[in-house]
Amino acid sequence: MTTALITHADCLNHVTPTGHPERVARLEHVLHALEPLDLRRVTAPLAADDDLLRIHPAGYIADIRDARPEEGFTQIDGDTFLSPGSVDAAFRAAGAVVRAVDMVLGGEVQNAFCAIRPPGHHAERETAMGFCLFGNAALAAKHALDHHGLRRVAVVDFDVHHGNGTQDLLWDEARALLITSQQMPLWPGSGRPDEDGAHGQIVNIPLAPGTGGAEMRAAYTAQAFPRLRAFKPELIIISAGFDAHQDDPLANLNWSTADFTWLTAELCTLAQELCQGRIVSTLEGGYDLNALAAASRAHVQELIKAAT
């Protein structure tokens, strides 16, 4: 078995204004860091509307298409922009996670990493925000549940910002456990422990500014891993944001690259215990280019170790 790397050049055509943190160079640095690794490289398809309709209404999908500019930018909110290539990039990003689920559950690969942009975990049912257009991680979960017939799927989101979109999209989904750690206080302001979903299946782990790796490891060991074991997912989906890194400019957590290695390795061990090692990971945030490259490489190296 091996690890799939799923990406598409269209994701490099999602251009943002000069100075915007979610920029083309992010994906370029990730892909360069992963270039030497032994991965099965897969071209991301365009997501079908039928796939996206699992999480977004038809009117919202049409609105995103219609917002595509002929040139320049369309501004969706204070920090979310579309360029002429952004819509295709978003459909490739969504298509990547669908393909990843199909490959992992079909036994073609042990696990998969989707190196995509725009990211997805802030996109709510009918609202694009926080650099995100479609809810990629939630889509992966719903595709696994509804198309492949799984009974239980877990999503683990360790991006420094709360995955409000994933929470919104999975709020009523009893078959999906969502575990999300985030700095608090920090944009978007959600992610309190009492936001626990319609079925008590959402676990929010707020972390104070300045929280380092030791505190993170203790929090995951005490709160996240027992819930995963109790839930017994048949697939683990990771929203892999690397902006909790101590060098990231948009937040104030103090994780090291070694902390991302540890967390990924622990999740791989749990996946081996609970769901035959099946993991789908998708890129979210991370805005210091060197830290992003190092942490994403460390993350994927652990996926490769788990697959061999």
245 is an active site residue: no
Between the CA of residue 210 and those of 81, 171, 207, 228, what are the distances in Å?
30, 29, 8, 26
Residue 1 has pLDDT above 90, yes or no: no
12 pLDDT tier (thresholds 50, 70, 90):
very high
Which residues fall within 8 angstroms of residue 17, CB to CB, at 6 or more apart? 73, 81
Query: How many CB atoms sit inside 10 A of residue 260's CB?
Result: 26
Angle, CA 24 vertex, CA 62 and CA 17 arms, to 5°: 70
Between the CA of residue 178 and those of 1, 38, 54, 60, 252, what are the distances in Å?
27, 30, 17, 24, 23
For tokens 């640095």, the residue is 29
Residue environment code for 52-68, b if the CB has 16+ CB neighbours within 10 A, otherwise e: bebbbeeebbeebeeee
Angle, CA 261 vertex, CA 170 and CA 6 arms, to 5°: 60
Task: Summarize pLDDT for 139-148 with one digit per residue, the tens.
Answer: 999 999 999 9
Averaged over 148-175, what is the pLDDT? 98
**Per-residue model confidence (pLDDT) at position 137:** 98
Q: Which of the 8 DSSP states describes residue 143?
A: I
Task: Summarize pLDDT for 86-97 with one digit per residue, the tens.
Answer: 999 999 999 999
**Would you kindly state where each structural domain of the chain is located, as residue ranges?**
3-307
**Per-residue model confidence (pLDDT) at position 9:** 98
Q: Please, is 70 exposed, middle or buried when counting C-beta atoms within 10 Å of its C-beta (0-12, 13-18, 19+)?
A: exposed
Q: Which residue type, as a one-letter code, is found at position 182?
A: Q
Residue 166 has pLDDT above 90, yes or no: yes
Between the CA of residue 139 and those of 86, 239, 263, 282, what are the distances in Å?
18, 12, 23, 11
Single out the residue of 37, 1, 6, 49 nearest to residue 280, CA to CA: 6
3 state SS of 255: strand
Out of 122, 161, 245, 299, the active site residue is: 122
Q: Which structure tokens are listed for 226? A: 């027992």
Q: Which structure tokens are listed for 253? A: 């957590």
Give the whole-angstrom CA distance, residue 250 versus residue 188.
12
**Per-residue model confidence (pLDDT) at position 79:** 95
H helices of the chain, in order, are 24-34, 49-52, 58-66, 86-105, 136-142, 164-170, 213-219, 225-231, 257-275, 289-307
Domain 3-307: give its CATH architecture.
Answer: 3-Layer(aba) Sandwich (3.40)
Q: Which of the 8 DSSP states describes residue 146?
A: I
Task: Summarize pLDDT for 37-93 with one digit per residue, the tens.
Answer: 999 999 999 999 999 999 999 999 999 999 999 999 999 999 999 999 999 999 999
Q: Which residue type, as a one-letter code, is found at position 42?
A: V
Task: Summarize pLDDT for 79-135 with one digit per residue, the tens.
Answer: 999 999 999 999 999 999 999 999 999 999 999 999 999 999 999 999 999 999 999
Give the whole-angstrom CA distance, residue 137 versus residue 280.
9
Task: Summarize pLDDT for 195-254 with one digit per residue, the tens.
Answer: 999 999 999 999 999 999 999 999 999 999 999 999 999 999 999 999 999 999 999 999
